[in-house]
Chains A and B, each alone.
Chain A
């Protein structure tokens, strides 16, 4: 099974400042079809998860462009260029390259 490890687990950030979350997989996430099925999700307090980024770097519909994803193979990063108050919540990386699908432990983003 693929284990997803996120760092940090908690990230206090000042409003307007950047934030970065890392996600490392225990195996390469490159699928036999050539795609890398690594996604980032946001879960605001009391809400269901919401898709932000799919296939490493593609922003989902309606996601602000201050969110960006990068990486390859086993190392991936989610960046928020300027944190806003509405970005508070828990962020998860998820792999869907191999069954069983798996999630990182979650990174809690909070405002300093």
Chain B
């Protein structure tokens, strides 16, 4: 079964850091680009970042560029999102998604990040 499982969410103070992980299974991880998408409580979907199959290329939403870093460990079948200088507006459920060229076909269940003092 193709599966993505996020972890690492939680409560963090403004200005703090958090590292999310996404464990992939059931498919050849290094054959796919991967994305992070977030959803603030009661709001719509917002694209966050993408990383190429090999990890040599990344792109970010303006709202997170310079603060968040997407990375991957292909031998471990794991995607990461390092989040620094967190703000209240980063509060959201964070989903990892698989991208087979131009769409997001598999989504994880998400992990909640709450930024609050």
Instruction: Report which A residues bind B (CB closer than 8 A).
Output: 31, 35, 37, 39, 41, 43, 48-51, 54-55, 60, 90, 92, 94, 96-97, 99-106
Contacts and interface: CB of A to CB of B under 8 A. Distances in A.
B59 interface: yes
B47 A54 contact: no
A14 B36 CA distance: 35
B56 interface: no
Interface residues of B, number: 22
What secondary structure prevails in chain B residues at the interface with A? Answer: strand
Interface stretch (B9-17, B23-31, B95-103): B95-103
Contacts of A101: 35, 47, 50
Contacts of A41: 45, 104
A103 B46 contact: yes
Given A49-B104, A90-B44, A104-B44, 20 more contacts: A35-B102, A39-B102, A41-B45, A43-B45, A49-B37, A49-B107, A50-B107, A51-B105, A54-B105, A92-B44, A94-B103, A99-B50, A100-B60, A100-B61, A100-B62, A101-B47, A102-B47, A103-B44, A105-B44, A106-B45
